[in-house]
């Protein structure tokens, strides 16, 4: 393999060896500008190189880091860890490259684009919108207030309340101070679960992801897509796959039509105490 090389070094073979020995992404690439010996163009730890300008330092450094990530793949820190990784906050990492990546935004429950620095970060980091949606689509859709973190507020009371934890998909107890905070705040566990817990109204097989199977045939089949709430055509390879696989669209709808029915409306909870305090403060 031809080595990727900057001025005075930056050999990919050396990088690959050091990457493998360290078992993790490089912590800091250093490209130094000769006129500013104390100013470091930090993009990782490739061998020290000297550049005529800071701009050329940044441009070549970014290019090398981008090529490096494409050749070596994602570092172990970005290995898939299931749906839990989709709930992590976006993390561009300490390096300074500008690599287009996608992360799952737990608050909007959609995949959003961000700029990845090229090293470290976390597992909520996908190369494309498609891979992000494929990895995170099974996260249950919940009302907006249920996606918020628990917030004790500004006061110093000691009131036991419940909030919906999107990571565990359960309602958990926390201590509320008595004012402000947010609406993910329920008086008891039952009211919290009634409002926030997703309710599936169809058979579990209708929520399985589309799976083409393991063989090489091409057979027209239908699967239920809970995102569009409709039965859609796909090519089945003839073996493997899962039970969300129907011979006809009619069979698909006959089994999964209840999965598309609307959830019962539930009155949104209100944090009456904090809102009363806000009204009083406005009058003062």
Specify the pTM.
0.44
The predicted structure's pLDDT at residue 35 = 44
**209 and 194 both lie in a single domain:** no
The predicted structure's pLDDT at residue 57 = 57
Crossing angle of the two packed helices 54-72 and 12-22, in degrees rounded to 10: 60
The predicted structure's pLDDT at residue 233 = 95
The predicted structure's pLDDT at residue 242 = 87
**21 and 69 both lie in a single domain:** yes
- Domain containing residue 172: 144-198
Report yes or no on 272 lying in a domain.
no
Q: How many whole angstroms separate alpha carbon 266 and alpha carbon 194?
A: 8
**127 and 148 both lie in a single domain:** no
- Reading the block at residue 146, the tokens are 């249920």
The predicted structure's pLDDT at residue 25 = 39
**211 and 256 both lie in a single domain:** yes
Residues in the chain predicted with pLDDT less than 50, given as ranges, are 1-51, 69-80, 262-269
Q: What is the CATH number of the domain that holds 99?
A: 4.10.410.10
Q: Residue 82: what are its φ and ψ, rounded to 5°?
A: 80, -165
Report yes or no on 163 lying in a domain.
yes
Q: Residue 129: what are its φ and ψ, rounded to 5°?
A: -60, -40
**16 and 69 both lie in a single domain:** yes
Q: How many whole angstroms separate alpha carbon 211 and alpha carbon 5?
A: 43
End of a domain among 73, 88, 117?
A: 73
Q: How many whole angstroms separate alpha carbon 73 and alpha carbon 119?
A: 11
Report yes or no on 230 lying in a domain.
yes
**84 and 125 both lie in a single domain:** yes
Q: Residue 22: what are its φ and ψ, rounded to 5°?
A: -75, -30
The predicted structure's pLDDT at residue 100 = 94
pLDDT tens figures, 85-132? 888 889 999 998 999 999 999 888 889 999 999 998 999 999 999 999
The predicted structure's pLDDT at residue 1 = 36
Report yes or no on 271 lying in a domain.
no
**67 and 21 both lie in a single domain:** yes
**209 and 221 both lie in a single domain:** yes
Report yes or no on 5 lying in a domain.
no
**126 and 151 both lie in a single domain:** no
**148 and 184 both lie in a single domain:** yes
| Total structural domains within the chain | 4
**157 and 128 both lie in a single domain:** no
Report yes or no on 4 lying in a domain.
no
- Reading the block at residue 236, the tokens are 């089945």
- Please check whether residue 58 is in contact with residue 7, taking contact to mean a CB–CB distance below 8 angstroms: no
- Reading the block at residue 2, the tokens are 């031809």
Report yes or no on 154 lying in a domain.
yes
Report yes or no on 277 lying in a domain.
no
**123 and 164 both lie in a single domain:** no
């Amino acid at each position: 393999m031809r080595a990727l090389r900057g001025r005075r070094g930056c050999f990919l073979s050396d990088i690959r060896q050091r990457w493998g020995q360290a078992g993790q992404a490089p912590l800091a690439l250093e490209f130094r500008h000769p006129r500013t010996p104390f100013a470091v163009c930090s993009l990782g730890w490739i061998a020290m190189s000297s550049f005529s300008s800071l701009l050329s330092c940044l441009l070549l450094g970014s290019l090398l880091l981008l090529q490096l990530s494409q050749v070596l793949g994602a570092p172990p820190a970005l290995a898939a860890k299931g749906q839990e990784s989709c709930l992590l906050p976006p993390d561009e990492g300490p390096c300074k490259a500008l690599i287009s990546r996608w992360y799952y935004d737990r608050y909007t429950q959609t995949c959003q684009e961000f700029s990845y620095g090229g090293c470290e970060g976390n597992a909520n980091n996908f190369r494309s919108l498609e891979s992000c949606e494929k990895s995170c689509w099974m996260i249950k859709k919940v009302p907006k207030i249920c996606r918020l973190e628990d917030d004790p507020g500004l006061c110093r009371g000691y009131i036991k309340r419940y909030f919906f934890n999107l990571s565990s998909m359960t309602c958990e107890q926390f201590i509320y101070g008595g004012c402000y905070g947010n609406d993910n705040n329920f008086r008891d566990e039952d009211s919290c679960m009634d409002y926030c817990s997703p309710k599936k109204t169809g058979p579990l097989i209708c929520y399985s992801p589309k799976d083409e199977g393991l063989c090489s045939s091409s057979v027209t089949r239908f699967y239920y897509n809970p995102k569009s709430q409709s039965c859609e055509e796909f090519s089945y390879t003839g073996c493997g796959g899962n039970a969300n696989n129907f011979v006809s669209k009619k069979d698909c709808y006959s089994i999964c039509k209840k999965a598309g029915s609307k959830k019962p409306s539930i009155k949104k909870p209100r944090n009456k105490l904090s809102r009363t305090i806000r009204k009083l403060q406005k009058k003062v």
